Amino acid sequence: MNAITPAALEPQAPDALAAAVAALEEDIVFGRLHPRERLTEDELMARFDMKRHAVRQVLVELELLGVVERKRNIGAVVRAFSAREVMELYALREVLEVHAASLMPLPVPPARLAALTAVQREHDAAVADGDARHVFRSNQRFHREFFGLLDNAVLGQAIEEYARRTHPIRFGSLAAANYRERARQEHWAMIHALRDGDRATLMTLCREHLLPSRDAYLASEQARRGA
């Protein structure tokens, strides 16, 4: 047995670990890595120039994010969801996000509405450029800012947690330009509802905003089973 050298046990830089986690998360979100696809340690070591213990930490972080699962005698694979799991996850997201919209103080103070609008302009630019990575990250910032209007950290964390758990489900909608444009327009409709104090419209938008990614995943899984 080869001895483990001190160099092999050197801690990996936190930035390198975070970058690897983000890169693999994006690969899953954008469909470059597919549900049930295996993630091998050797391939990840070569790709990210990491030691094995660091790659294992990356896989642990992805498992905590809910986008990877460990299977006995197989290893780490991109998480796949049954139709029932998809429906249940999105039903819970609907409960959380519509409830948040029902509690948001209206009208929103101009300074906070301006901050949300600034984030959305970044999202507009990303959609216009067709920059999928920027679309994904600016979309995350928009929703973090949007639900931050509630000033309820516990509810905000729950919303963010279950949104993250649906990342492997979202590739069908993020990959398609028409879905990205629909999301962009719905963001602006939310901003206008906040500005106008229109709670009923805001709650409806929060509910309908979830549907495209759910339905695209279900359609892709049905097509896969048919094939």
My answer on whether 106 and 126 are in the same domain is: yes
SS3 73: coil
Q: Which residue has the tokens 């340690």?
A: 41
Distance CA 117, CA 127 (A): 15
Distance CA 99, CA 35 (A): 30
Paired tokens of 35: 């549900």
My answer on whether 68 and 103 are in the same domain is: no
What CATH number is given to the structural domain containing 159?
Answer: 1.20.120.530
CA-CA distances (angstroms) from residue 164 to 42, 64, 170, 214, 215? 26, 10, 10, 13, 17
Pairing type for strands 68-71 and 38-39 reads unpaired
My answer on whether 168 and 203 are in the same domain is: yes
Enumerate the β-bridge partners of residue 71.
75
Helix axes of 177-196 and 211-226: crossing angle, nearest 10 degrees: 160
Domain edge (last residue) among 78, 107, 130: 78
My answer on whether 109 and 155 are in the same domain is: yes
Q: What is the pLDDT of residue 77?
A: 94
Q: What is the pTM of this model?
A: 0.82
My answer on whether 170 and 102 are in the same domain is: yes
The verdict on residue 4 lying in a domain is no
The verdict on residue 104 lying in a domain is yes
Element (H, E) at 70: strand 68-71
Distance CA 27, CA 40 (A): 15
What CATH number is given to the structural domain containing 63?
Answer: 1.10.10.10
Per-residue pLDDT of the chain (227 residues; tens, 9 = 90+): 444 444 444 555 678 999 999 999 888 888 788 888 999 999 999 999 999 999 999 999 999 888 899 888 888 999 888 999 999 999 999 999 999 999 999 989 999 999 999 999 999 999 999 888 899 889 999 999 999 999 899 999 999 999 988 888 876 666 678 889 999 999 999 999 999 999 999 999 999 999 998 998 888 778 777 76
